[in-house]
Amino acid sequence: MHFADPASYDDVAAAYDFFWPSPSPEVYQVLDDHGIRTGSILDVGIGTGLASLPLAQRGARITGIDPSPGMLALARVRLPDAELVAGRAEELPFADRSFDAAISCETFHWVDQPRALAELRRVVRPGGAVAIWWSTISSASEVPEARRAAAADAGLEPVGDALSRGFRAFFAAPFAERAMRAVPAAILTTVDAWVGYERARVELREAYGSRASAWCDALERRLLRAYGRAEARMTVRTVQYVYLARV
């Protein structure tokens, strides 16, 4: 498994923070139903704090860990009361049974999953909840086809979906309970904002290197032909896969 260099996220932290879509309200209803609402919550791969913000607003005590100093600097602005630590999911610098719950959003495709899951089981109290999720663009949206066409325009292979490898490590981990929920959602955005989001995707740099900009330019041309102008509104339909466990 390939792990992203934290410096890659430092370089795009500001763009990520500005353009990255926040998790949908439907995800937080799932978390609430699973008992993740208040108390002490660890956010693994906290990034700029987008996923933890709704929980902090509900009164949760947030601790976040991320390997990127650039991301953590922005998280400190968004979550001034949180404890934020530089580090990796595979070696959490916390004592056993430190947290009531743990979350991780759009992170586990970058980590050594069995090691990270073992660390979550270690630091969450018995009976505590774990929620790991990330999203994929729905086939009902025009974006997947536009992405494939942009890759062809730029003479590149399409970037694979992070979920295509599945999440076998989650179902193999000895949690007391395990479940998965597929949560449909819609991102209301504009062509310009969506292209900004695409340019902030580290996956593109990892896959395309110096050609990532050419792919983004090709995608922008495709979307402008489809929508007419940069300010045009577009709806991107997604499915958020939420993996829920009990320690």
CATH of the domain at 222: 3.40.50.150
At 5 the pLDDT is 57
Query: What's the pLDDT at 6?
Result: 59
Q: What is the pLDDT of residues 31-75, one digit of tens each?
A: 999 999 999 999 999 999 999 999 999 999 999 999 999 999 999
Contact assessment for residue 11 and residue 70, using Cβ atoms and an 8 Å cutoff: yes
**Residue 18 domain flag:** yes
Closest CA to 49 of 63, 28, 31, 34: 63
In a domain, 207, yes or no: yes
Instruction: List pLDDT tens digits, range 88-117.
Output: 999 999 999 999 999 999 999 889 999 999
| Structural domain includes residue 20 | yes
pTM over 0.85: yes
Has residue 56 been placed in a domain? yes
Tens of pLDDT, residue by residue over 122-172, are 999 999 999 999 989 998 889 999 999 999 999 999 988 777 678 999 999
Question: Residue 201 domain-assigned?
Answer: yes
- Whether residue 178 is contained in a domain is answered as yes
> Does a structural domain hold residue 31?
yes
Write out the residue range of the structural domain in which residue 63 sits: 6-246
Number of domains making up the chain: 1
Q: Is residue 1 part of a domain?
A: no
